[in-house]
Amino acid sequence: PSLFSAIDMAPRDPILGITEAFNADQNPNKINLGVGVYYDDNGKVPLLSCVQKAEEILIAAPAPRTYLPIEGLAAYDKAVQELVFRADSAVIQEKRAVTVQAIGGTGALKIGADFLKRFAPDAEVYISDPSWENHRALFESAGFKVNNYAYFDAATHGVNFAGMLADLKAMPRGAIVLLHACCHNPTGADLTSDQWTEVIAAITAGGLVPFLDMAYQGFGAGIAEDGAVVRRFAEAGGPLLVSNSFSKSFSLYGERVGALSVVASSGEEAARLMSQLKRVVRTNYSNPPVHGGKVVATVLTTPELRQLWEDELAGMRVRIKEMREAFVTKLAAKGHDFAFVRDQIGMFSYSGLSKAQVEQLRAQSIYAVDTGRICVAALNSRNIDVVIDAIAKVL
Ligand code: PLP
In 10 A of CB 9, how many CB atoms?
5
Tell me the CA–centroid distance for residue 230 and ligand 1, in Å: 17
**Which of 46, 327, 356 has its CA nearest to residue 188?**
327
132 flagged as catalytic: yes
What b-and-e string marks burial along 146-155, b requiring 16 or more CB atoms within 10 Å of the CB? Answer: beebbbbbee
Read off the pLDDT band of 15 (50, 70, 90): confident
Q: Is 104 in the pocket of ligand 1 (CB under 6 A)?
A: yes
Q: Is 261 in the pocket of ligand 1 (CB under 6 A)?
A: no
pLDDT tens profile 241-266: 999 999 999 999 999 999 999 999 99
Catalytic residue, chosen from 248, 294, 309, 330, is 248
* pLDDT for res 12: 82
How large is the ipTM? 0.99
Q: Is 32 in the pocket of ligand 1 (CB under 6 A)?
A: no
Q: Whose CA is nearest to atom 8 of ligand 1?
A: 36
Cα separation, 143 vs 52, whole angstroms:
40
* pLDDT for res 75: 98
Read off the pLDDT band of 53 (50, 70, 90): very high
pLDDT tens profile 143-192: 999 999 999 999 999 999 999 999 999 999 999 999 999 999 999 999 99
Tell me the CA–centroid distance for residue 167 and ligand 1, in Å: 25
Mean pLDDT in residue range 32-41: 96
Q: How many residues does the chain have?
A: 395
Q: Is 251 in the pocket of ligand 1 (CB under 6 A)?
A: no
Helix axes 49-60, 303-333, angle to 10 degrees: 160
* pLDDT for res 16: 80
78 flagged as catalytic: no
- Residues of the chain with pLDDT > 90, as a percent, come to 97
Read off the pLDDT band of 225 (50, 70, 90): very high
Whole-model pTM?
Answer: 0.97
59 pLDDT above the threshold of 90: yes
**Residue 165: strand, helix, or coil:** helix
* pLDDT for res 148: 98
167 flagged as catalytic: no
Q: Is 249 in the pocket of ligand 1 (CB under 6 A)?
A: no
Q: Do residues 115 and 275 touch, judged by C-beta distance below 8 A?
A: no
Mean pLDDT in residue range 194-204: 98
Average pLDDT over all residues of the chain:
97
**Residue 153: strand, helix, or coil:** strand
Cα separation, 222 vs 213, whole angstroms:
16
